[in-house]
Amino acid sequence: MADTEPGGRLRITTTAELLKAVELGIVDRTEARSLLGFGVKRGRLARVQPREGGRFVKADLVLPFNRFSSRAQEAMMQAQELAKTDGRGHPDSADLLLAVAGLAGSAAGLALRALGADEERVRSTLAGMERSEAPVEGLGPSAQLKQVVETAFHGVDYPGQVGTRQVVLALAASEGLGGAALARLGVTEAALRAELDRVAADEDGEPA
């Protein structure tokens, strides 16, 4: 039986307790696989995970895409396709911004368009900027994109999903190319948050 350490922290001592914690939603599956000594499961988002020497890096650097909504995952996959089309080996925060701006029917896309940062304006703004973000450990996403993902992840309470709302707010708050492009377009984090509140939709309730 799992017990509680001083300070209220749950202590799990057996595999059975860990599996029960996963079932109850206390521990997510990726964390459980790490605790059991298994590698990271490769999936559609494997290419945007940090790697070193062609291999996935240690578990504490793995990006938590299992907690992303389907639309947020769609934006991440589109970002990596944009990087590939542009001849770059890694996606950056600018790719993610462009992907979110073009994500039809999402609250983030609607908010960006309402603030004058539609896909075409984002694209033209990025065209005049140097793509200088370096990948993490030489492979995987740029360090700035990794930071955006982590910020978005920490924007929701466990076990809630990270939606496009959290992603675009993290982009606006970032110091990468995505944040710089939004600043050039006059889109502040505060204005974006207000517009998202006006749209009044989370990932499950966004217009289709």
Tokens 């675009």 belong to: 168
Neighbours of 34 (CB within 10 A): 17
Contact assessment for residue 165 and residue 202, using Cβ atoms and an 8 Å cutoff:
yes
Total-model pTM: 0.69
Domains and CATH numbers, the chain: 11-41 (no CATH), 65-199 (1.10.1780.10)
Q: How far is CA 105 from CA 12, 101, 119, 164, in A?
A: 42, 10, 13, 11
pLDDT digits (tens, 9 = 90+) for 97-138: 999 999 988 889 999 999 999 999 999 999 989 988 988 766
The total number of residues written for the chain in this structure: 208
Give me the tens of pLDDT residue by residue for the chain, a chain 208 residues long: 444 444 445 566 676 776 766 666 666 666 666 555 544 444 454 445 544 444 444 444 455 667 788 899 899 889 989 999 998 878 999 999 999 999 988 889 999 999 999 999 999 999 989 988 988 766 678 889 989 988 998 888 877 888 999 999 999 999 999 999 999 999 999 999 999 998 864 444 444 3
